[in-house]
Amino acid sequence: MTPPVDIVRLVTRLNIGGPARQALLLTRELAASHPTLLAVGTPPPEEGELADPAVTPVRVPLVRAVRPIDDVRAALAVRRLLRDSGARILHTHMAKAGTVGRSVAATMSRVSTVHTFHGHVLEGYFRPAIQRAFLTIERRLARRTDILIAISPEIRDELVDLRIGRESQYEVVRLGLDLSRHLVAQPADGRLRETLGLGADVPLVGIVGRLVPIKDHETMFDAIARLEGVHLAVLGDGELRPRLEARAAARGIADRVHFVGWWLDMPSALASLDIVALSSRNEGTPVALIEALACGRPVVSTDVGGVRSVVEDGRTGRLVAAGDGGGLARAIGEIFSSPDRGAVLGQRGRAHVRSRFGQDRLVREIAEIYDGLLARSR
């Protein structure tokens, strides 16, 4: 029996990352005021899966790949959930959930639709022909969506420029996270160095995220190869791990690149790092950098997507061009050569994300969107 709810929240998968964190947080924090059913697909084992003891998701046969039979099964399952729960709003997160869910909701007159773009998959993820197909699909779906949410002004502007929806359809709702443990983390709390067998005097950079092409770990390896004595902790897992391990060995840096896998207690890992870096070719709003700054760590990142909504170049971190291993190396080296400068960057970053990316603001803004749609439907 599906319980009656106001909202069905549909997420492709709860793989470790920003969309899953936000979906779990919103479902938990809005339970009293806006009863929500969280429906999710299942990620592959190498991606890891987030969970929250206060949230019990319902499994639906959503898969990230295009598989017509599975997609039809997922659509039927979503239709049953919407019908049986009596939900008046469907809120989708991630591209596949957005495609399946909004296609179903368009045939159900009583259901309003909200879709969150946590980034966009139209640059750097797929071959050009597939990108063009996705662009066509997203334009059509946008015409059937009541509210489009972008997690940064940069993402909104890119999507409007691509003619995905009208600007009037968009609300910018920045990520909100529970940063309480990050904001009090100190280097002495870190356990990662002990696990890796590295002393406090060993320069240690960390990169956090799935091991997939868009994260461009090879550019990070290029930077590390230029920085004598600097070690890199690779926090995450994914399809490219065997290839990346081989690349680190081929570059002669295997003894300085440590593949950690998923480390769920992120404050304890981030507190161990001297610098947190990101080498992606595209990003929405990078959770790893928000959490790093909340831990008081200086950050170095490629200047892509919504990164500038998190990192103020020269004030809370350093930004370089995508694919520029030399630029990453120089920025990292400058921070190591001036520890006081790195400490200042981290302190400013901690203050910046505390005010900008806390969970209370996120919950309040999403609740206001839901209230407007529910009032309209009544």
Cβ atoms of 47 and 13 within 8 Å: the answer is: yes
Query: Measured between alpha carbons, how far is 104 from 157 in angstroms, rounded to an integer?
Result: 27
Query: Domain extents for the chain?
Result: 7-178+358-377, 182-356
Query: What per-residue confidence (pLDDT) applies to 170?
Result: 97
Q: Enter the tokens of residue 282.
A: 């595209």
Query: Measured between alpha carbons, how far is 165 from 377 in angstroms, rounded to an integer?
Result: 21
The fourth-level CATH superfamily of domain 182-356 is Glycogen Phosphorylase B; (3.40.50.2000)
Q: Enter the tokens of residue 241.
A: 């791990």
- Return the CATH number of 7-178+358-377, one of 3.40.50.2000, 3.30.1300.10, 3.40.50.460, 3.40.50.880: 3.40.50.2000
Per-residue pLDDT of 143-194, as tens digits, reads: 999 999 998 888 899 899 999 999 999 999 998 998 999 999 988 777 899 9
Query: Measured between alpha carbons, how far is 259 from 196 in angstroms, rounded to an integer?
Result: 10
Residue 254 contacts by C-beta under 8 Å, 6 or more apart in sequence? 245, 248
Query: Measured between alpha carbons, how far is 6 from 366 in angstroms, rounded to an integer?
Result: 13
Low-confidence residues of the chain, pLDDT below 70? 1, 120-127, 378
Sign of CA dihedral 38, 265, 64, 102: positive
Cβ atoms of 300 and 322 within 8 Å: the answer is: no
- Residue 28, SS3? helix
Q: What is the pTM of this model?
A: 0.80
C-alpha distances out from residue 8 to 22, 32, 83, Å: 14, 14, 11
Instruction: Let me know if the fold of 7-178+358-377 is the same as that of 182-356.
Output: yes
Residue 6: count other Cβ atoms within 10 Å of its Cβ: 18
Residue 69 contacts by C-beta under 8 Å, 6 or more apart in sequence? none
At residue 225, φ and ψ (nearest 5 deg) are: -60, -25
Query: Measured between alpha carbons, how far is 221 from 151 in angstroms, rounded to an integer?
Result: 29
Residue 253: count other Cβ atoms within 10 Å of its Cβ: 18
